Amino acid sequence: MIVQEKPTPRQSSILVKLLAIVFVLFGLPLLIGGGYLISLSGSWYYLIAGLALIVSGIQLFRNKMSGAWIFAALFVATLLWTIWESGARFWGWVPRTAVFAVFALVLALLLPKIERGASRKVSLGLSGFLVVCFVIAGICAFTPQFSFKSDAAFPTQPLTADTRVNDPTQADSDWKYYGRDSNATRYSPLKQINAENASKLERAWVYRTGDLPPADKSNKWAAEHTPIKVGNGLYVCSATNNISRIDPTTGKEIWKFKSGVEYKSIPYTAACRGLTYYESKVVPSGQACHSRIVVGTLDMRLLAVDTETGKACEGFGEHGQVNLLKGMGYTVPSFVAITAPVSIVKDTIVTSQEVKDNQRRWAPSGVTRGYDAETGAFKWAWDVNRPGQKGEPKEGEEYSRGTPNSWTASVGDEKLGLVYIPMGNSAADHYSGTRTKAENEVSSAVVALDAQTGDVRWVFQTVHKDVWDMDLGSQPTLMDYPDASGKAVPAMLIPTKMGETFIVNRVTGKPLSKVEEKAVPAGDLKDDTRSPTQPFSVDMPRLGFPDLTEKQMWGLSPLDQLVCRIKFKQANYNGIFTPPSISKPWIMYPGNNGGSDWGSYAYDGNSGVIIANWNNTPMYAQLLTRENVEKDGVYSLDSPKFNPKILSTKRPMDETPYGLNISPFYSPTKMLCSEPPYGMISAIDLHTKKVLWQHPLGTAERNGPLNLKTYLPIQIGLPNNGGPIVTAGGVAFVAATTDNKIRAIDIKTGKELWHDVLPAGGQATPMTYSQNGEQYLVIMAGGHHFMKTPVGDYLVAYKLPK
């Protein structure tokens, strides 16, 4: 008789035990955090998942197959829950399923090691199935989310029959203004580079400004510069206002003017976004400073430099410069600065300045001033809280403090004699309780001023009593637009950080697109009441996504997604105009770096199409008691107690009842808590006011958790700074993204035609010009400290091969 031996139990593998320990360690924070999330009226999933993972881990450690079955049930339940919460949104699947899918694959491979586990054949079959799922997920990852292409034909006619798309003040080959033309359209009539040949672009030359952060100083660099080109000169401004003239065909330096700006004068950012060209009507052609470059500096001077020699214009101000600190009262270096190009209208230089945010209520003035373009002599001041007083303050007096400032590029209409000033809000950006009626009327508004007198002609406001820092960062674009009768009227395109686009009559300031005042949430601060309504541009597509929900919280794993859900439930959030609060944090979405910022739009008048890249980046903020701020040693930068070594997310907002804590809405892995995409590019047809196409802008190659590079060319859509340009060749060019790329995009389809990786971050708006019959594309690659892109001093030029 043959006695069959009883099979011995399988010995638990050390790998199974290790996996079991991982399950328990991963499940514990899910269990604890999930319980807390339930107390905040959040999802029950995390507590249940944590409990299931812990029990599964315990059973696996005991070498019990039931542990695998419990995990399988959790995995299936997670898939069903993901479908319910995220549907087809791929990025919603990543934090919910990616880690568990990896766990499932490892567990499937270890099944033969578990007592009464599956056979090796079954194990390999399950593993193969999961690998196929990973491949499908990878394909989905490379398929851009939120892409859209309309079936509508691309328009081929301008909005009105008398639309002027070429600027008679410059040659087609030039880029004379910051926005290319006097209307700031960022449109070039050049078409040598087109949709058929843009893929052949190659580098022509690289120029280096030599302006980089000192080795012993913090990096504040973000050049953000767009050069100008007039005739045989290409004029470039470095991060600290050094000016160069270079040869447009070779990039060879012809001369350099050093501004003398010191590091201590750098505000939040060392940037010189643009230069302004002016031809004198007094100095004869051929003499020094007949043509000149004018720039406002970081240390508040107005400089005029001869275009031919690079020498200061001695007849301008005092030896070529004007002191813009005159009348400003007490301040310290870096509190006020000019980073944007000045406007020159009716031979008047119109200049405003940025005032550092959230320092104190009675910060230096936001006054706008006019100076004679020939001599630099003061002409007028528009000072919000000194109505009727257009002269410089007398000795012992100063411009009114804490008033709304304009830190971005204005634009002028020479024919109408008006300059259009995009305004920010008053000092101490997130508290409005002590603002005057006059301040509230002009904050976050476009103000039309008479360029010769400084008189206010009209005001169009985009945010009432702004406490969200939704200042107007974009340069408006001038255009012709049909009124209700179809007649062409002088109009203006106003982009905003909310993603709203307003179109107004630039003669009267009256809206040409439909604007509605809609009710918004009321605040609970008795000393700082909110406006009951806000203006919305209801017939123009908003460049943004719907309001956030708990389901849209993101991360790379269930753990950081759980943290983001907890932070979301801990905060106040009632949509785009959620009021500031002191009892708990509040969420600003799309945030004060959302929508369109200083990069502005590009507008093709031939087709009536806008090209716009935009952001979708939430911020997390909370008002603080004065004691809470001061206990950390946080004071205004002009205070005797200010300590520059204290790095904090807190802001003092001195001379108000509150301080502020503000930062991006981050997960523990330094990824934004909202689902991607974070940056988009869109084309809008102004004939129909519809989106023609829309795509995420930017890949994940140089971005990732904890600021690590992933090297994955996934079109995730990145935060971006800098704007687009558009050409008659049917191509839009844009850099701006944190993947350091510049791209050529077909304006009819949105398809990427070409890209190149820049030697540093391309947080700037490109430009294009023609010289000796060849068209060039030029971009400043200077990097950006806030965007965490590599710093540089490169000006890179491209052209087609001969």
What's the pLDDT score for residue 412? 97
Give residue 56's Cα distance to chain centre.
45
- Residue 118: DSSP 8-state: -
| Residues in contact with 473: Cβ distance below 8 Å, sequence separation at least 6, in sequence order | 407, 408, 422, 497, 596, 597, 598
Q: Is residue 55 part of a domain?
A: yes
Whether 119 maps to a domain, the answer reads yes
List C-alpha distances in Å: 532 to 435, 586, 603.
Answer: 17, 18, 34
Q: Is residue 39 in a domain?
A: yes
Residue 552 DSSP one-character state: G
| CA count, 13 A, side-chain hemisphere, 201 | 28
DSSP helix/strand/coil, 343 = strand
* Mean pLDDT for the stretch of residues 713-727: 95
Condensed to tens digits (0 to 9), the pLDDT of residues 642-680 reads 998 888 999 999 999 999 999 999 999 999 999 999 999
pLDDT for the residue numbered 12? 59
Model pLDDT, residue 562: 97
Q: What is the pTM of this model?
A: 0.95
Domain count, the chain: 1
At 196 the three-state DSSP class reads: coil
Q: Phi, psi at residue 579, to the nearest 5°?
A: -70, 150
Given a cut of 60, whether residue 112 has pLDDT beyond it is yes
Q: What does the pLDDT average to over 447-454?
A: 98
**Mean pLDDT, range 605-613, rounded to an integer:** 96
Q: How far apart are CA 493 and CA 420, in angstroms?
A: 11
- Tell me what pLDDT residue 514 has: 96
pLDDT in tens, 215-274: 999 999 999 999 999 999 999 999 999 999 999 999 999 999 999 999 999 999 999 999
Q: SS3 of 519, please?
A: strand
Confirm whether 97 is domain-assigned: yes
Structure tokens at 160: 């009105």
Within 13 Å and on the Cβ side, how many CA atoms surround 782?
37
Of 157, 184, 168, the closest CA to residue 479 belongs to 184
Closest CA to 739 of 698, 780, 705, 711: 698
Domain encompassing residue 75: 14-142
Q: What percent of the chain has pLDDT over 70?
A: 98
- Look at residue 88 and tell me if it is in a domain: yes
- Distance (Å, rounded) from C-alpha 35 to C-alpha 37? 5
List the Cα angle 264/270/274 in 5-degree steps. 130
pLDDT at residue 4 in the model: 46
Residue 478's pLDDT is 97
Q: Give the CA-trace dihedral at 760, 761, 766, 768, to 10 degrees.
A: 20
Q: Is 90 within a domain?
A: yes
Q: What is the pLDDT of residue 6?
A: 45
Q: Say if residue 8's pLDDT is above 70.
A: no
Nearest in space to 142 (alpha carbons), one of 696, 749, 744? 696
Give the model confidence (pLDDT) of 335-381 as tens digits: 999 999 999 999 999 999 999 999 999 999 999 999 999 999 999 99
Question: Nearest Cα to 268, choosing from 214, 342, 334?
Answer: 334
pLDDT at 56 over 90: yes
Closest residue by Cα to residue 77 from 105, 103, 100: 100
Residue 2 clears pLDDT 70, i.e. is over it: no
In 3D space, the residue among 177, 187, 207, 173 whose CA is nearest the CA of residue 798 turns out to be 207
Residue 162 — pLDDT band, cuts 50, 70, 90? low
pLDDT band at 123 (very low <50, low <70, confident <90, very high): confident
CB neighbour list of residue 434: distance below 8 Å, 6 or more residues apart: 361, 656
CB 575, CB 521: distance < 8 Å? yes
Helix (H, G, I), strand (E, B) or coil at 784: strand
pLDDT tens digits, 184-231: 999 999 999 999 999 999 999 999 999 999 999 999 999 999 999 999
**In the predicted structure, residue 7 carries a pLDDT above the cut 50:** no
Q: Is the pLDDT of residue 163 over 70?
A: no
Q: List strand residue ranges (DSSP E) for 383-487, in order.
A: 411-413, 418-422, 445-450, 456-461, 477-482
Tokens representing 597 are: 């910022």
φ, ψ at 27 (rounded to 5°): -75, -30
**Which pLDDT does position 710 carry in this prediction?**
85
Q: Has residue 784 been placed in a domain?
A: no
pLDDT in tens, 274-301: 999 999 999 999 999 999 999 999 999 9
pLDDT for the residue 129:
73
Q: Which amino acid is at 496?
A: T
> What amino acid positions are annotated as catalytic residues?
469
Tokens encoding 256: 């350099």
| SS3 at position 265 | helix
- Residue 504's H or E segment, with its range, is strand 501-505
Mean of pLDDT over the chain: 94
pLDDT range class, residue 108, cuts 50, 70, 90:
confident
Task: Identify whether the C-beta of residue 652 lies closer than 8 Å to the C-beta of residue 623.
Answer: no
pLDDT at 704: 85
- Domain for residue 69, yes or no? yes
Query: How far apart are the C-alpha atoms of 10 and 341, rounded to whole Å?
Result: 76
In this prediction, residue 485 carries a pLDDT of: 83
Q: Work out the number of other CB atoms within 10 angstroms of the CB of residue 166.
A: 15
Q: Using the predicted structure, report yes or no on whether residue 770 has a pLDDT greater than 80.
A: yes
Confidence class for position 3, pLDDT limits 50, 70, 90 = very low
pLDDT at 135: 76
Specify the pLDDT at position 262.
Answer: 97
